[in-house]
Amino acid sequence: YRLIRDLLWKYEQTARPRIDSSHVVNVLVRFSLQQIYDLDEKRQILTISGWLTAEWTDEYLVWDPQTYGNMTSIVLSPRKIWTPKMAIGNTATKMFQDWKHFLITVRHNGQCRWQPGGNFAFTCALDMNYYPFDEQSCTMELETWHYTADMVNLTNSMGVFGMETYLKHGEWAIEATEVKRKFRVYSYYESEAFPEVFFTIRMRRKYTFYFMYIMLPCIMLSFVLLLMFLLPAESGEKISLGVSILVSFSVFLLIVAEKVPDTSDAVPIMGKSIFLMYFMMATSLSVMSSTMIVKFHYGGMAKRPPKWLRVGAFNVIATALCLQHAKEFNRRHEKCRHLADGECKEKTTNGDVMPQSDSMTAALSRTLSLEYMAPASCNPKCSLRGSDFLNAEWKKISEVLDRLFFWLFFLFLLIPLASLVSFINRSKVETI
C-alpha cells in the first residue's frame, strides 16, 4: 500500500510517462489469437477472440525494491496510470474497447505490461467469387487515437500472431498471419503521422460441409435430369420430372443466397454458371427439349416431317450415335415408298391402275408393319393406314432426338464437374 501511495501521490494519468517530454514513448504490441469466433458474410464482419499484449516504460513508476521490502512488481488499475489510448480503427462495434478491467503489471524499473482481451469484431471486405472455395484476408487496424508518431511509437514486437492457445475452427483454416506497422496521414493533419499496427489473418474455408449438403445433391440432381431423355414419352412424366428438378435447384439457390453478401460486385461460383445457375440453365433447356420431343412423339405437325429433319435424324444423328434401328426403319420405309410409287404409276392403256395381288399386299404387310407403310399417292390399295405411318415416323424421330439430347446434356454436365475438381485441387493447401 505504501509503495502504491508513493508512486501515485503526484502522478498525472493524462501525461505521457516521460520526464523529458521530447522523448517518444515506445509501445510494443502483439496479438495472441485464441479462436476465430465468427465470420458474418452478410454483414462482412469478422469476430475473433484473443488478447493484446502492450509493453512500455513508465519513467514515473520506478522504485528501489530494497526500500519496499524487495517488492519488484505490483499490479495497478489502468484507471490510475497512463495507458496508450489504443483503438481499433475498423471496429464493427465501438471504437474504444472496455479494457479498464484488465490490470497492468508494473515492475520496479518502470516496465509496464498490459494484456486486455476479449472478442474483437472488425469489418472485412470479403471476396465471394470462389465461395465456398474462397480464401479471405482480414485485417484488424490498431492505432493510437490521440498520439502522433513523435509522441507514441506504436510498433509490433512480432511479425505474426501468437498461436500458443489457438483453438481450431470448424469452418475456417488459417493459412498465415502477419503483423505490420504503418503510418497514416489524414488530410486534416497533413504534417503529422499516426502509427498503426495491422494484424492480418489469411484463412481458407473448409468446403466439406458445402460439398456434402449443397454441391453433391446438385450434382446428383443434374444426373437425374438425364433420365428425362430415357423416359418414354408415353409415360407422361418427362416434363414433370424436369420441372421438379428445376424447383429443387431453386431451393438450393435460396440457401446460398442467405449466406453471401447482398452485392452485385461479386457473385459466388456456386451461384454462377458453373454450379447452380449452370444446372438451372441445363434443366430449363432440357425441359424445352423434352417438350419438343413430346410434341414430335404425338404426331408432330400432322404432316410428314420435313426432308431436312428426316435426313438429319436418320442419316446424320442415327449414324453418329449408332442407332441401327432408326437407320433400318428409314431404309425399309424408303423401300416401301418406292414400291408404292411404282405401283401407282403402272397404268393400262385406258388409264386404269393395274391391280396388285392380295398376296403381294399381305407379304408387304408382314415385312413392314402396318404403321410403317407409306401413304399411297393415287391408289388406296397401295396404302396401309397412312396416318399411322406418319405417327410412327414422328415417333422414330423423337426417339433419335431423345438419344441425341441425352449425350449432349451428359457432356454439358461434365463441364462443372471438371471445374469442381480444379477448385478442390486448388483448395488443398496446408493450413493451421
Computed over its alpha carbons, how large is the radius of gyration of the chain?
40
Q: Is residue 349 part of a domain?
A: no
Domain identity same for 179 and 281: no
Domain identity same for 230 and 199: no
- Cα three-residue angle 7-13-18, rounded to 5 degrees: 75
Q: Is residue 403 part of a domain?
A: yes
Domain identity same for 216 and 191: no
Domain identity same for 145 and 230: no
Domain identity same for 54 and 161: yes
Instruction: Give the residue numbers spanning the domain of 405.
Output: 210-343+360-427
Q: Which of 206, 231, 253 is the last residue of a domain?
A: 206
Grid cell 400432322 in the structure block, residue: 302
> Which run of H or of E encompasses 53?
strand 45-57
pLDDT of residue 375: 45
Q: Is residue 74 part of a domain?
A: yes
Each residue's pLDDT expressed in tens, for the chain with a length of 432 residues: 789 999 998 899 989 999 998 899 999 999 999 999 999 988 899 999 999 999 999 999 999 999 998 999 999 999 999 999 888 989 998 877 778 889 999 999 999 999 999 999 999 998 888 888 889 999 999 998 788 888 999 999 889 999 999 999 989 999 999 999 998 887 777 778 889 999 999 999 988 888 888 778 888 888 888 888 888 877 778 888 888 888 888 887 787 777 666 666 666 766 554 677 778 888 888 888 888 888 777 766 567 777 787 777 777 777 777 776 665 665 666 555 555 445 444 443 444 444 444 444 444 444 443 334 444 444 443 343 555 666 777 777 778 888 888 888 888 888 877 777 777 766 555 455
Distance, CA of 233 to CA of 294 (rounded, Å): 6
pLDDT of residue 364: 40
* Residue 303 φ/ψ, nearest 5 degrees: -150, 170
Domain identity same for 194 and 241: no
Distance, CA of 182 to CA of 3 (rounded, Å): 39
Which of 236, 317, 250 has the alpha carbon at shortest distance from 283? 250
Q: Is residue 39 part of a domain?
A: yes
Q: Is residue 106 part of a domain?
A: yes
- The domain spanning residue 94 has which CATH number? 2.70.170.10
Domain identity same for 195 and 176: yes
Within a 10 A sphere around the Cβ of 400, how many other Cβ atoms? 26
pLDDT of residue 344: 44
Let me know how many helices (H) and strands (E) the chain has, helices first.
10, 11
DSSP-based three-state secondary structure for 339: helix
Distance, CA of 329 to CA of 310 (rounded, Å): 11
Domain identity same for 263 and 153: no
Distance, CA of 218 to CA of 252 (rounded, Å): 8
Q: Is residue 313 part of a domain?
A: yes
Domain identity same for 113 and 194: yes
Distance, CA of 361 to CA of 391 (rounded, Å): 21
Q: Which of 172, 206, 240 is the last residue of a domain?
A: 206
Strand ranges across the sheet with 172-184: 86-88, 135-144, 194-205, 172-184
Q: How many alpha carbons lie under 13 Å from residue 255 in its C-beta half-sphere? A: 15
> Which run of H or of E encompasses 107?
strand 104-107
Beta bridge partners of 54: 29, 114
Which of 283, 152, 302 has the alpha carbon at shortest distance from 229? 283
Domain identity same for 232 and 140: no
Within a 10 A sphere around the Cβ of 127, how many other Cβ atoms? 13
Cα torsion for 183, 188, 192, 197, to the nearest 10°? -20
pLDDT of residue 71: 92
Q: Which of 160, 181, 206 is the last residue of a domain?
A: 206
Distance, CA of 359 to CA of 357 (rounded, Å): 5
Domain identity same for 144 and 219: no
Domain count, the chain: 2
Domain identity same for 31 and 161: yes
pLDDT of residue 374: 43
DSSP-based three-state secondary structure for 43: coil
Which of 91, 150, 162 has the alpha carbon at shortest distance from 121? 91
108 neighbors 65 (Cβ within 8 angstroms): yes
Q: Is residue 432 part of a domain?
A: no
Q: Is residue 350 part of a domain?
A: no
pLDDT of residue 266: 66
